[in-house]
Amino acid sequence: MLRYPYQRNGARTRPSPLTKLTGGPGEWFARVPGIDMRGGAVSATPIIDWFTTGDEPALLGTKCVACGTVYFPRQDIYCKNPNCDSEEFEEYTFSRTGTVWSYTDFQYQPPAPYIAQTDPYEPFALAAVELPEGIVVLGQLADGYSVDDVKVGSPVELVVEVLNTDDTGDRTIWRWKPTEEAAR
């Protein structure tokens, strides 16, 4: 019997980020939560339980009860810490603030399933933010902010904004809002 979900020849292995899907030889697709790309059709569903909303939104994840390693997005199968063999996790709410670890802007429109907010496309800024828990989380900068408003080490806070609206209502996303003006 396998002790770990992905144990092979006595060694713990990690699942591949690619999944073989039925439909023909060589059809490999990246696993993306909430996105189904089989047969060329792209349909998105909301990502449930990744963040809270309200006056003080926060990212939601899990924490290993044995070693304290935190995960975002959530990890429920096994602890990825090589020094821990636990399979028990508890819910964890991350800090709302962090510091910019790196940043860039998207001058070119990303490919589908990206949905442009404006026509014609307007560039947006993306920041990798280090949280006090020690992890780095990627996200767009809040509406109205650009790469000119941040620098490495700039403090930011998590906000939830509307990404787009469809027939079912508003689709929201977390973003990073600078909390002080960056020195230029």
Residues 4/85, Cβ–Cβ less than 8 Å: yes
- Beta partners for residue 62, in sequence order: 71, 91
Token digits of residue 35: 């996105």
Residue 149 confidence (pLDDT) = 94
Q: What is the pLDDT of residue 6?
A: 45
pLDDT, residue 93, reads: 95
- What pLDDT score does 169 carry? 82
Give residue limits of the domains in the chain.
Answer: 97-178
Structure confidence at residue 156 (pLDDT): 97
pLDDT tens over the chain, length 184 residues? 444 444 444 455 444 444 434 444 444 334 444 444 444 433 334 456 799 888 899 999 999 999 999 999 999 899 999 999 999 999 999 999 999 999 999 888 888 877 777 788 888 899 999 999 999 999 999 999 999 999 999 999 999 998 878 888 888 889 999 998 764 4
- CA pseudo-torsion sign 106, 112, 114, 119: positive
In eight-state DSSP terms, residue 149 is: G
DSSP designation for 51: B
Q: Answer yes or no: are the C-beta atoms of 53 and 47 closer than 8 Å.
A: no
CATH topology of domain 97-178: OB fold (Dihydrolipoamide Acetyltransferase, E2P) (2.40.50)
pLDDT at residue 47, as a whole number: 59
**Are 65 and 75 contacting, i.e. CB atoms less than 8 angstroms apart?**
no
CA 63 to chain centre: 16
- In whole angstroms, what is the distance from residue 112 CA to residue 88 CA? 36
The model's pTM is 0.70
3-state helix, strand, coil in the chain (%, to 5): 5, 40, 55
- Listed in sequence order, the residues at least 6 apart from 71 whose beta carbon sits closer than 8 Å to its beta carbon are 61, 62, 63, 64, 80, 89, 92
Beta 155-166 vs 169-178: how paired, if at all?
Answer: antiparallel
- Residue 14 DSSP one-character state: P
